[in-house]
Amino acid sequence: MMLLLMTRLPAAAVAVVLLLVHRVTAHDGVLIVAAIVYTTGSLTVLTALPRLQLSPLAWLVDCAAVLALVAASEDWRSPFYVLMLTALVLPSTGLAFRRALGWGIAFALAYLGVAVYTELDANTLESTIRLETIATHLMVPLVVVVALAYATDVLERLRDERLRSERFAVESERQRIAWELHDSAKQRVHAAHLVLSALQGQVSGAQAQLVGHALGELRAAGADMDTSVAELRTPLEGRPVQRLLEERAAELGPVSEAEITVHGALGELPAHVAAHVYRIGAEALTNAVRHGAARHVDVILARNATSATIEVRDDGRGLATTRRPGSNGLRSMRARADTIGAALSIGPGPDGSGTSVVLSLSTDPEARSSQT
C-alpha cells in the first residue's frame, strides 16, 4: 500500500501538470477533476478497507478506471499513462509470480484495446517511430509487473528464511538447555540426594525430619527438571498453536472427566512467541483439569489485524486461595507472558464461577518492539 501511495500521488501530479501545460482534449478541466477524484478516492477507499488491497475484484475495478481515464484522454499516449501503471502495483505484489505475469499480459492487451479504440490505426503501424512507441507502451506494464512480482517473491523468501532460522535458533537453544539440565544439573541433584540419604539412618528426631524434608525437596527438584526437559524437548516445529493445544487437549482428555474444546485460530506468529503462547495455554489447560476439577474447558483463540488473544475458560472450582506447595505454574506463566510482552490476566470466569485465563498480545511488530 505504501508503494501504491508513493507511485500514485506523483503519477497523478504528473497527469494534472501535463493537462495544465498542454492542451490534450477539449475537456481537459473535466479530466483534471476526474484524475484528482480518482486518485484521492481510490487511495482513501483502499486505506480504509485494507481487505480490498488483496481483492482481485478491487484490482479489476481499479484497472478499468485507469483504462477509462486513458480512453477519455482520447490518445493512447495519454497523460494518464504513468497513473495507469500504478494500477499494477497491487496485483503484482499480491499475486504469485506467474499469475502476476498473466495479469500484466491481460492488462497490456486491454491497453492495446483502448489504444485501438482511441486512434491506433494502419497509419500508426506503418510509421517505424510510432510502431516503436506503441510497442514500448505495451511492454512497460509487463516490465513493471515482472519487476514488482520478482521483488515481492524475493522479499517473501527472505521472510520465510528468517522465520525458519529463527525457529531453528530457538529449537537448538532449547535442545542445549534440555541437555544441560539433564546431563549436569540433574546429575548433581541425584548426587546430593544420594549423599544426604546416606545420613538418613544415622540421625534421629528433629534432624531426621530436616533430612527428610531436604530429600523431599531434592526429589521435587528432580521431578521439576524432568518436566522441564520433557517440555523443552517437545518440538513445536512451527505448527500452529491451535493444533498443538488440540493435541494437548487430546492428551489430557482420557485422564480427566473434562470436556475440552478448542475454538478459533491464532494464525502465524513468530516462532518464539508461538512457543510461549502454547506453553501458557497448555499450563492453563493442565491447571483447569488437574487442580480446578473442571467439567468443561473452552480454549478460545482469536486474532485480528493488531492483536491475538487466547482465553482458557473452565467451570471448575476456581482459583485456590492458598498457594499449592511446590507450584510454580502460575509464576512461570507470568514470566513467559512478560518475555513476549503480552498481558496475562487470571481470575474468575465472566459469571463469577470457574477460572478464566486470558493472554493478549500485540501482533503489530512495531508496537511489540516498543514494549520490549
Partner 1 sequence: MIRILIVDDHPAMRAGLTAVLRAEPGFVPLDAATSDKDLWPTLNRTRPDVVVLDYHLPGDDGVVLCRAIKRRLPAPAVLLYSAYADAALTIPARLAGADGVVSKSVPANELYDAIRRVARGERVLPPLSRELLDDAGNRLDADELPILGMTLEGTPLLEIAATLGVEPAQIAHRIDRMIKRLKVEIPAPRAAR
Q: Which residues bind partner 1 (CB under 8 A)?
A: 168, 172, 175-176, 178-179, 182-184, 186-188, 190-195, 197-198, 200-201, 215, 219, 222, 226, 233
Q: Whose Cβ is closer to partner 1: residue 174's or residue 336's? A: 174
Query: Shortest CA distance to 62 belongs to which of 32, 33, 92?
Result: 92
Shortest distance, CB of residue 197 to partner 1, whole angstroms?
Answer: 3
Shortest distance, CB of residue 91 to partner 1, whole angstroms?
Answer: 37
Shortest distance, CB of residue 180 to partner 1, whole angstroms?
Answer: 9
At residue 316, the 3 state secondary structure works out as: coil
Q: What residues have CB less than 8 Å from 115, skipping those under 6 apart?
A: 76, 134, 137
d(CA 74, CA 20): 16
Q: Whose Cβ is closer to partner 1: residue 6's or residue 220's? A: 220
Q: Whose Cβ is closer to partner 1: residue 162's or residue 219's? A: 219
Q: Whose Cβ is closer to partner 1: residue 176's or residue 295's? A: 176
Shortest distance, CB of residue 193 to partner 1, whole angstroms?
Answer: 7
Beta bridge partners of 356: 313, 347
Query: Shortest CA distance to 188 belongs to which of 196, 198, 176?
Result: 196
Q: Can you list the positions of beta strands (E) in 180-295?
A: 259-263
Please say whether the dihedral angle defined by the alpha carbons of residues 200, 205, 207 and 212, taken in this order, is positive or negative: positive
Q: What residues have CB less than 8 Å from 313, skipping those under 6 apart?
A: 297, 298, 300, 349, 350, 354, 355, 356, 357
**Helix ranges (DSSP H) in 119-127:** 122-126
Q: Whose Cβ is closer to partner 1: residue 194's or residue 210's? A: 194
Shortest distance, CB of residue 191 to partner 1, whole angstroms?
Answer: 3
d(CA 231, CA 220): 16
Shortest distance, CB of residue 160 to partner 1, whole angstroms?
Answer: 16
Burial of 66 per CB tally in 10 Å (0-12, 13-18, 19+): buried
**Which residue matches cell numbers 498453536?**
241
Query: Shortest CA distance to 78 belongs to which of 132, 122, 147, 133?
Result: 133
Shortest distance, CB of residue 157 to partner 1, whole angstroms?
Answer: 19
Shortest distance, CB of residue 224 to partner 1, whole angstroms?
Answer: 13
Q: Whose Cβ is closer to partner 1: residue 40's or residue 184's? A: 184
Q: Whose Cβ is closer to partner 1: residue 101's or residue 215's? A: 215
Q: Whose Cβ is closer to partner 1: residue 229's or residue 299's? A: 229
